[in-house]
Amino acid sequence: MLTLSGAAGGGQLVRTAATFAALTGRAVEVTDVRGAREQPGLKRQHVAAVEAVAAACDADVEGAAVGSEHVTIDPGTLAGGEARVDVETAGSIPLILDAVLPLAARLDAPYRVTVTGGTDVRWAPPMDFFREVKLPVLRRHGLDASETVTRRGFYPAGGGEVTLTLRPSTFEALDLAERGRPKHIAVESVASESLRDADVAHRQADAAVEALQSNAAVPVLRETSYDRTTSPGSVVTVVAVYEHTRAGFSALGEQGKPAEDVADEAVAAFESFRETAASVDRHLADQLLPFLALAGGTYTTPERTAHLDTHVELLEAFAFDVDVAEAEGRVRVSR
């Protein structure tokens, strides 16, 4: 059994440990889970991620409970099947799906998992980043997966629902050393039905498109929608589509924060990225690491984050060596 200390890590360490236990067939023990945090131990979204992975490989799991500081995962065969995981809070659905996606590399049969919780919440990639940035990049490199968003979920009640279907996949090396020429920019703006009268989704989109068109040499597309949600909320995502890759930049609406300011926040993040020559944004750089470990390849990102370094160290514990080096104003990640 591989024993890992979770003292310095967060939920990502537990999620990736569960993922690579399933992928390698090696039992894993994580001790002192989130030990350095003010409130140590597993949160509900961390438990849900372990449950989603365990269901795909019929794993024996101990300690997967809220507040637990010790968890073990003893995996079986990645046989696929169907599962339903309820976060019961506004915990991030995309982060739970992130733990499941790499399993496609070793699945014997399709795996379908439905997760309820938060689709668009703080400290996590929003749903449109997952479906319009991450999935298209991975599909281009061999991932066979599809998703259905039944409803959105915002903080604090959550209530969103997403179904992910994975099919056995053969990943190809991530050929992302350069992003290539820009093709277009898409603005995805979503708000709760209760915010329709205030025109929130359209105002977010209008402000983002106006700002982007003033300095864009490519088409700027837009899509707006209103969904019935348990808690009111909104989100806007700017998706930059390049010849070889994609990048995403999002902002969440808040009570008292004008829709135009939400749009400006997402656009500003994109503008900062556009000034670099990196192939992926800093969030995708971290999320691509499991696939790089499995299939090899290269990509570049604007900065070296603590999340990136922690993730690399965890993969090394499973004997997957990833090289991270700074060169020409970018951070090059390769294997």
What band does 296 get if pLDDT is binned at 50, 70 and 90?
Answer: very high
**Would the pTM count as exceeding 0.85?**
yes
- The backbone torsions φ and ψ at residue 314, rounded to the nearest 5 degrees and listed phi first, read -65, -45
- Percentage of the chain surpassing pLDDT 70? 100
State the catalytic residue, choosing from 70, 202, 244, 307: 307
190 Cβ contact partners less than 8 Å away, ≥ 6 residues apart:
120, 128, 152, 201, 224, 225, 226, 227, 234, 235, 236
Domains plus CATH for the chain? 2-172 (3.65.10.20), 182-274 (3.30.360.20)
Residue 237: is it exposed, middle or buried by C-beta count within 10 angstroms (0-12/13-18/19+)? Answer: buried
**23 near 102, Cβ under 8 Å?**
yes
pLDDT score recorded for residue 217: 87
Q: CB within 8 A of 140, min separation 6: which ones?
A: none
Dihedral sign (CA 181, 283, 273, 293)? negative
Mean pLDDT, rounded, for 273-281: 96
- Alpha-carbon Rg for the chain in angstroms: 19
- Residues 4-53 pLDDT 10s: 998 887 889 999 999 999 999 999 999 999 988 888 999 999 999 999 99
> What is the predicted pLDDT for the residue at 8?
81
Asked if residue 80 lies in contact with residue 111, where contact means CB atoms within 8 angstroms, the answer is: yes
Cβ-contact 256, 271 below 8 angstroms: no
Q: What is the pLDDT of residues 66-83, one digit of tens each?
A: 999 999 999 999 999 999
Q: What is the mean pLDDT of residues 212-230?
A: 94
Torsion over CA: 93, 234, 271, 206 (sign): positive
Environment class of residue 327 by beta-carbon count within 10 Å: exposed (0-12), middle (13-18) or buried (19+)? exposed
307 part of the active site: yes
In tens, the pLDDT along 137-153 reads: 999 999 999 999 999 99
Structure tokens at 322: 């990833």
Q: How confident is the model at residue 261 (pLDDT cuts 50, 70, 90)?
A: very high
Burial of residue 88, with CB atoms counted within 10 A of its CB: 0-12 exposed, 13-18 middle, 19 or more buried: middle
Query: CB within 8 A of 281, min separation 6: which ones?
Result: 133, 247, 248, 249, 273, 301, 302
| pLDDT value of position 328 | 80
> Tokens representing 48?
């849900």
Average pLDDT over residues 299-328: 93
